[in-house]
A and B are shown apart, each in its own frame.
Chain A
């Protein structure tokens, strides 16, 4: 009997609190798989955000710190300075890393702090009940933009992967998605790449993952996955925006 797929060891065997069909669960599991494969689970420290992923420390069997809202990269910087040999990553949503914590995320990239940030971008504030986020698509209806987001009134969606890629301290910046098996494998490859770059001391590594929010988008999980595949990628093109080839 050959094992094709089994639940990763680092992923705790508990039911997560995410809504049915939420892609957060896939990203958690991919991080757990990569930590297992690289044997880094004992050396990893995660920083949980405020948002839907606030309880991430219940699901991955590694060390965690829960940061104040938006301050995950600042806390990760402190951990990295105290323990330069551990793997430090932050797991944030778009409300945490791209709205209230934009300054921290940006200065992580500007200063080239040697940590990894995962940004789960689902274009909405999920935990608080579906308000408009900086990343909300134009024309998208949310509880605080009931007629759809209008560029004249609320401005344009924030593109984090491109913005972070422009900063000097960034070693890696990319955007991937989770809407089909091919993209899930691509995301896993990128997670492995950012962890390898961090262990080499390359600098700030940033991975934006386009996800879904079926509940607050008002769709079934299957429709939400299709929406991510057809609509989200128009505003948030997938790809690698910065990649340091050689690490000193």
Chain B
């Protein structure tokens, strides 16, 4: 996981588990994780890394603005 460039970075302490990002994701790449943050919520996580198309809808919808989205440079063969 760590060797791949970041696509969706979620600040787990800010997340309030509202699931709006999970529902809005057009490729269903997000889900609610099993971890618990200090507020007692289960933060969202990116679990289908390869499916993510980096559209930014999750970040745009997040009421906490806990999500940052990056588009890694494409390696041309």
- By a beta-carbon cutoff of 8 Å, the part of chain A in contact with chain B is 1-8, 11, 15-16, 18-26, 29, 180-181, 184-185, 214, 220-222, 225
CA distance A7 to B24 in the complex (A): 18
Q: Are B65 and A2 within 8 A (Cβ)?
A: no
Q: Are A7 and B19 within 8 A (Cβ)?
A: no
Q: Which of B38-61 contact A (CB under 8 A)?
A: 39, 41, 54-57, 59-61
Instruction: Apart from A6-B68, A25-B64, list 4 A-B contacts with CB within 8 A.
Output: A1-B5, A5-B56, A15-B39, A214-B18
Q: Are A21 and B60 within 8 A (Cβ)?
A: no
- By a beta-carbon cutoff of 8 Å, the part of chain B in contact with chain A is 5-6, 13-14, 16-20, 23-24, 39, 41, 54-57, 59-65, 67-73
B37 to chain A, nearest CB (A): 10
B24 to chain A, nearest CB (A): 6
Q: Which residues of B contact A222 (CB under 8 A)?
A: 18-20, 23
A11 with B65, Cβ < 8 A, contacts A1-B71, A1-B72, A220-B19 known: yes
Q: Which residues of A contact B60 (CB under 8 A)?
A: 5, 181, 184-185
Q: Are A20 and B17 within 8 A (Cβ)?
A: yes
Q: Which of A3, A4, A18, A180 contacts B24 (CB 8 A)?
A: A180
Residue in chain B with minimal CB distance to A214: B18
Q: Which residues of A contact B16 (CB under 8 A)?
A: 15, 19-21
Residue in chain A with minimal CB distance to B73: A1
Residue in chain A with minimal CB distance to B24: A181
Q: Which of B6, B19, B65, B70 contacts A29 (CB 8 A)?
A: B65
Q: Are B70 and A21 within 8 A (Cβ)?
A: no
Of B23, B61, B62, most buried by chain A (CB within 10 Å of CB) is B61
CA distance A21 to B19 in the complex (A): 8
Q: Are A26 and B70 within 8 A (Cβ)?
A: no
CA distance A19 to B39 in the complex (A): 12
Residue in chain B with minimal CB distance to A2: B71
CA distance A11 to B67 in the complex (A): 13
CA distance A136 to B35 in the complex (A): 38
CA distance A20 to B39 in the complex (A): 12
Q: Which of B41, B67, B70 contacts A2 (CB 8 A)?
A: B70
Q: Are A4 and B54 within 8 A (Cβ)?
A: yes
Q: Which of B17, B20, B63, B68 contacts A5 (CB 8 A)?
A: B68
Q: Which of A8, A16, A225 contacts B20 (CB 8 A)?
A: A225
Residue in chain A with minimal CB distance to B72: A1
Of B17, B19, B41, most buried by chain A (CB within 10 Å of CB) is B19
Q: Are B20 and A1 within 8 A (Cβ)?
A: no
Q: Which residues of A contact B68 (CB under 8 A)?
A: 3, 5-7
Residue in chain B with minimal CB distance to A188: B60
Residue in chain B with minimal CB distance to A11: B65
Q: Which of A16, A21, A29 contacts B18 (CB 8 A)?
A: A21
CA distance A172 to B13 in the complex (A): 39
Q: Which of A8, A18, A20, A26 contacts B61 (CB 8 A)?
A: A26
Q: Which residues of B contact A5 (CB under 8 A)?
A: 56, 59-60, 67-69
